[in-house]
Amino acid sequence: MRFSAWIFLDVVILIFGIYQIIICSQMRKSGKINRSIRNRSNTLGRPCRDEKGYIEAITKSGMILGVSAVVTGVYDFISDLTGFLPIIKLLMTVAFLLIAYWYFRSVNTATKKYF
């Protein structure tokens, strides 16, 4: 098995996806905003006007980002080890980046609305 920085990045993306899915699920169950989400969206120290509305606004896109990160991480890891269908790897990476952009836009929009 050869190791490269790309394989390390694939694992980081996979772990990020799992973490994103977990925190979005926990926020939906508990009704409380996860501290790491608050750190990302620059809202520490400001009260949220509607926590449920904020959670509802960001968890759908957060779950989609998490799932896409897991799928991209796993496929890219396998592709980097085997060299299997590199064009699909490129397309999945581009799709993941577009989903990440959409997620961060939705978080910014929700932050402006609820904080």
Instruction: Round the average pLDDT of the chain to a whole number and report it.
Output: 90
pLDDT tens digits, 33-73: 888 887 665 676 778 889 999 999 999 999 999 999 999 99
- The pTM score is 0.86
The DSSP output letter for 41 is T
Nearest to 14 by CA among 101, 104, 102, 96: 96
CA distance linking residue 8 with residue 11, whole number of Å: 5
- Give the phi and the psi of residue 71 in degrees, each rounded to 5: -60, -45
Range of the domain at 65: 5-114
The CA angle 70-82-95, to the nearest 5 degrees, is 35
> Which H or E run includes 31?
none
Number of domains in the chain: 1
Are the C-beta atoms of 30 and 90 separated by less than 8 Å?
no
Are the C-beta atoms of 93 and 72 separated by less than 8 Å?
yes
Token pair 């957060």 in the structure block, residue? 62
Q: Which residues of 88-99 are buried (b: 16+ CB within 10 A; e: fewer)?
A: ebeebbeebeeb
Q: Which pLDDT band holds residue 24 (cuts at 50, 70, 90)? A: very high
